[in-house]
Protein backbone atom coordinates (compact mmCIF):
# COMPACT_ATOMS: atom_id res chain seq x y z
CA UNK A 1 0.00 0.00 0.00
CA UNK A 2 1.67 3.20 -1.20
CA UNK A 3 0.99 6.16 1.05
CA UNK A 4 1.31 9.81 0.10
CA UNK A 5 3.44 11.00 3.03
CA UNK A 6 3.50 14.54 1.65
CA UNK A 7 -0.29 14.67 1.96
CA UNK A 8 -0.12 13.24 5.48
CA UNK A 9 2.44 15.82 6.62
CA UNK A 10 0.47 18.65 5.00
CA UNK A 11 -2.67 17.82 6.95
CA UNK A 12 -0.96 16.71 10.15
CA UNK A 13 -1.86 20.04 11.88
CA UNK A 14 -5.54 19.28 11.22
CA UNK A 15 -5.23 16.03 13.15
CA UNK A 16 -3.29 17.69 15.96
CA UNK A 17 -6.06 20.27 16.43
CA UNK A 18 -8.71 17.55 16.21
CA UNK A 19 -6.83 15.47 18.81
CA UNK A 20 -6.75 18.45 21.18
CA UNK A 21 -10.53 18.79 20.89
CA UNK A 22 -10.98 15.04 21.37
CA UNK A 23 -8.84 15.09 24.53
CA UNK A 24 -10.74 18.10 25.89
CA UNK A 25 -14.13 16.50 25.36
CA UNK A 26 -12.95 13.15 26.73
CA UNK A 27 -11.34 14.73 29.82
CA UNK A 28 -14.39 16.70 30.92
CA UNK A 29 -16.82 13.98 29.91
CA UNK A 30 -14.93 11.35 31.93
CA UNK A 31 -14.68 13.70 34.90
CA UNK A 32 -18.46 14.23 34.88
CA UNK A 33 -18.98 10.48 34.40
CA UNK A 34 -16.82 9.68 37.43
CA UNK A 35 -18.61 12.22 39.63
CA UNK A 36 -22.00 10.94 38.45
CA UNK A 37 -20.90 7.34 38.98
CA UNK A 38 -19.77 7.99 42.55
CA UNK A 39 -23.05 9.69 43.50
CA UNK A 40 -25.23 7.06 41.81
CA UNK A 41 -23.28 4.13 43.27
CA UNK A 42 -23.69 5.60 46.77
CA UNK A 43 -27.44 5.99 46.24
CA UNK A 44 -27.71 2.37 45.08
CA UNK A 45 -25.45 1.08 47.85
CA UNK A 46 -27.46 2.71 50.61
CA UNK A 47 -30.77 1.96 48.82
CA UNK A 48 -32.10 5.49 49.36
CA UNK A 49 -35.86 5.49 48.67
CA UNK A 50 -37.09 7.26 45.50
CA UNK A 51 -33.53 8.26 44.54
CA UNK A 52 -32.61 4.60 44.14
CA UNK A 53 -35.46 4.08 41.67
CA UNK A 54 -34.55 7.30 39.82
CA UNK A 55 -30.92 6.19 39.47
CA UNK A 56 -32.00 2.77 38.21
CA UNK A 57 -34.15 4.41 35.52
CA UNK A 58 -31.26 6.71 34.56
CA UNK A 59 -28.88 3.75 34.22
CA UNK A 60 -31.33 1.82 32.03
CA UNK A 61 -31.97 4.81 29.75
CA UNK A 62 -28.30 5.72 29.51
CA UNK A 63 -27.00 2.23 28.80
CA UNK A 64 -29.74 1.25 26.37
CA UNK A 65 -29.61 4.26 24.05
CA UNK A 66 -26.72 5.02 21.67
CA UNK A 67 -24.53 8.03 22.42
CA UNK A 68 -25.32 9.50 19.00
CA UNK A 69 -29.05 9.49 19.82
CA UNK A 70 -28.33 11.20 23.14
CA UNK A 71 -26.22 13.83 21.35
CA UNK A 72 -28.98 14.47 18.81
CA UNK A 73 -31.44 14.98 21.64
CA UNK A 74 -29.13 17.46 23.40
CA UNK A 75 -28.09 19.34 20.25
CA UNK A 76 -31.28 19.29 18.19
CA UNK A 77 -34.00 18.48 20.73
CA UNK A 78 -33.24 20.82 23.63
CA UNK A 79 -33.44 24.00 21.48
CA UNK A 80 -37.12 23.13 20.91
CA UNK A 81 -37.51 23.57 24.68
CA UNK A 82 -35.58 26.84 24.65
CA UNK A 83 -32.33 25.30 25.91
CA UNK A 84 -29.45 25.98 23.54
CA UNK A 85 -26.02 24.51 24.19
CA UNK A 86 -22.93 24.62 22.01
CA UNK A 87 -21.90 21.42 20.23
CA UNK A 88 -18.91 21.09 22.55
CA UNK A 89 -21.04 21.32 25.71
CA UNK A 90 -23.51 18.82 24.24
CA UNK A 91 -20.66 16.39 23.52
CA UNK A 92 -19.27 16.68 27.05
CA UNK A 93 -22.73 16.35 28.63
CA UNK A 94 -23.58 13.36 26.44
CA UNK A 95 -20.32 11.60 27.26
CA UNK A 96 -20.82 12.29 30.98
CA UNK A 97 -24.43 11.06 30.82
CA UNK A 98 -23.45 7.82 29.11
CA UNK A 99 -20.31 7.23 31.16
CA UNK A 100 -21.98 7.95 34.49
CA UNK A 101 -24.13 4.83 34.25
CA UNK A 102 -21.16 2.59 33.44
CA UNK A 103 -19.07 4.11 36.22
CA UNK A 104 -21.97 3.68 38.66
CA UNK A 105 -22.21 -0.05 37.91
CA UNK A 106 -18.44 -0.55 38.22
CA UNK A 107 -18.25 1.32 41.52
CA UNK A 108 -21.36 -0.37 42.90
CA UNK A 109 -19.79 -3.79 42.33
CA UNK A 110 -16.74 -2.58 44.25
CA UNK A 111 -18.83 -1.28 47.15
CA UNK A 112 -20.66 -4.58 47.35
CA UNK A 113 -17.39 -6.52 47.53
CA UNK A 114 -16.38 -5.09 50.93
CA UNK A 115 -16.94 -7.63 53.71
CA UNK A 116 -19.70 -6.72 56.15
CA UNK A 117 -17.51 -7.89 59.02
CA UNK A 118 -15.14 -5.00 58.32
CA UNK A 119 -18.00 -2.51 58.41
CA UNK A 120 -19.27 -4.00 61.66
CA UNK A 121 -15.78 -3.91 63.17
CA UNK A 122 -15.39 -0.25 62.19
CA UNK A 123 -18.77 0.58 63.74
CA UNK A 124 -17.71 -1.29 66.88
CA UNK A 125 -14.69 1.02 67.12
CA UNK A 126 -17.03 3.99 67.25
CA UNK A 127 -16.65 5.19 63.66
CA UNK A 128 -19.66 7.01 62.22
CA UNK A 129 -21.14 5.97 58.83
CA UNK A 130 -19.39 8.78 56.92
CA UNK A 131 -16.02 7.86 58.38
CA UNK A 132 -16.60 4.17 57.69
CA UNK A 133 -17.36 4.96 54.04
CA UNK A 134 -14.35 7.25 53.66
CA UNK A 135 -11.76 5.17 55.52
CA UNK A 136 -12.94 1.56 55.20
CA UNK A 137 -15.40 0.96 52.38
CA UNK A 138 -14.53 3.36 49.58
CA UNK A 139 -10.74 2.76 49.39
CA UNK A 140 -11.28 -0.99 49.06
CA UNK A 141 -14.21 -0.56 46.68
CA UNK A 142 -12.17 1.74 44.45
CA UNK A 143 -9.32 -0.76 44.31
CA UNK A 144 -11.70 -3.53 43.25
CA UNK A 145 -13.42 -1.22 40.74
CA UNK A 146 -10.25 0.07 39.09
CA UNK A 147 -10.23 -2.47 36.21
CA UNK A 148 -13.84 -1.63 35.35
CA UNK A 149 -13.30 2.10 35.72
CA UNK A 150 -10.21 2.03 33.50
CA UNK A 151 -12.07 -0.01 30.88
CA UNK A 152 -14.85 2.59 30.97
CA UNK A 153 -12.35 5.43 30.52
CA UNK A 154 -10.94 3.77 27.39
CA UNK A 155 -14.48 3.06 26.15
CA UNK A 156 -15.48 6.72 26.58
CA UNK A 157 -12.39 8.01 24.77
CA UNK A 158 -13.30 5.77 21.83
CA UNK A 159 -16.92 6.93 22.00
CA UNK A 160 -15.79 10.49 21.21
CA UNK A 161 -15.62 9.29 17.61
CA UNK A 162 -19.38 9.90 17.25
CA UNK A 163 -19.34 13.59 18.24
CA UNK A 164 -18.66 14.43 14.61
CA UNK A 165 -22.39 13.77 14.19
CA UNK A 166 -23.08 17.20 15.70
CA UNK A 167 -20.47 18.95 13.56
CA UNK A 168 -17.57 18.92 16.01
CA UNK A 169 -14.20 18.81 14.25
CA UNK A 170 -12.80 15.83 16.09
CA UNK A 171 -10.52 13.15 14.61
CA UNK A 172 -13.35 11.33 12.86
CA UNK A 173 -14.75 14.56 11.41
CA UNK A 174 -11.36 15.56 9.96
CA UNK A 175 -10.87 12.07 8.49
CA UNK A 176 -14.26 12.05 6.78
CA UNK A 177 -13.67 15.61 5.55
CA UNK A 178 -10.32 14.77 3.95
CA UNK A 179 -11.66 11.59 2.36
CA UNK A 180 -14.61 13.52 0.93
CA UNK A 181 -12.45 16.35 -0.40
CA UNK A 182 -9.38 14.56 -1.71
CA UNK A 183 -10.26 10.82 -1.81
CA UNK A 184 -7.03 10.05 0.03
CA UNK A 185 -8.73 7.27 1.97
CA UNK A 186 -5.71 5.21 3.02
CA UNK A 187 -3.70 8.22 4.22
CA UNK A 188 -6.62 9.68 6.19
CA UNK A 189 -7.46 6.35 7.85
CA UNK A 190 -3.83 5.65 8.75
CA UNK A 191 -3.61 9.07 10.42
CA UNK A 192 -6.86 8.38 12.26
CA UNK A 193 -5.62 5.04 13.60
CA UNK A 194 -2.25 6.50 14.61
CA UNK A 195 -3.79 9.37 16.54
CA UNK A 196 -6.23 7.11 18.39
CA UNK A 197 -3.33 4.84 19.30
CA UNK A 198 -1.40 7.87 20.57
CA UNK A 199 -4.37 8.80 22.76
CA UNK A 200 -5.35 5.33 23.97
CA UNK A 201 -2.09 3.40 24.40
CA UNK A 202 -0.76 5.55 27.30
CA UNK A 203 -4.12 5.24 29.06
CA UNK A 204 -4.16 1.48 28.54
CA UNK A 205 -0.58 1.07 29.78
CA UNK A 206 -1.23 3.28 32.83
CA UNK A 207 -4.37 1.28 33.63
CA UNK A 208 -2.43 -1.99 33.45
CA UNK A 209 0.31 -0.66 35.74
CA UNK A 210 -2.27 0.59 38.22
CA UNK A 211 -4.04 -2.76 38.31
CA UNK A 212 -0.77 -4.62 38.91
CA UNK A 213 0.26 -2.27 41.70
CA UNK A 214 -3.07 -2.76 43.46
CA UNK A 215 -2.82 -6.52 43.04
CA UNK A 216 0.68 -6.58 44.55
CA UNK A 217 -0.59 -4.40 47.40
CA UNK A 218 -3.22 -7.02 48.19
CA UNK A 219 -6.30 -5.27 46.78
CA UNK A 220 -8.72 -6.46 44.14
CA UNK A 221 -8.11 -10.21 44.65
Determine the Cα angle at 51 with ends 105 and 88, to 5°. 65
pLDDT of residue 75: 93
User: Cα–Cα distance between 219 and 93 in angstroms, integer?
Assistant: 33
- pTM to 2 decimal places: 0.87
pLDDT of residue 143: 81
CA 91 to chain centre: 12
Of 150, 146, 176, nearest to 164 by C-alpha is: 176
- Contact predicate 160/26, CB 8 Å: yes
- Contact predicate 107/145, CB 8 Å: yes
pLDDT of residue 215: 64
- Contact predicate 18/170, CB 8 Å: yes
User: Cα–Cα distance between 4 and 159 in angstroms, integer?
Assistant: 29
Exposure pattern of 66-93 as b/e (b: 16+ CB <10 Å)?
ebeebbeebbeeeeeeeeeeebeebbbb
User: Cα–Cα distance between 62 and 56 in angstroms, integer?
Assistant: 10
| Residues of the chain predicted below pLDDT 70 | 1, 215-221
User: Cα–Cα distance between 17 and 170 in angstroms, integer?
Assistant: 8
* Gyration radius of the chain's alpha carbons: 21
Amino acid sequence: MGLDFGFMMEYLPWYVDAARLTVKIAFWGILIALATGVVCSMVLYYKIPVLCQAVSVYIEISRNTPLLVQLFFLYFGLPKLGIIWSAEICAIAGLGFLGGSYMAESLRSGLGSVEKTQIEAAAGLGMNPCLIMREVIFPQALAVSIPGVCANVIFLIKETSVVSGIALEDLMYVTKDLIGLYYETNEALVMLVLFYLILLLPVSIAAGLMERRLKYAGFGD
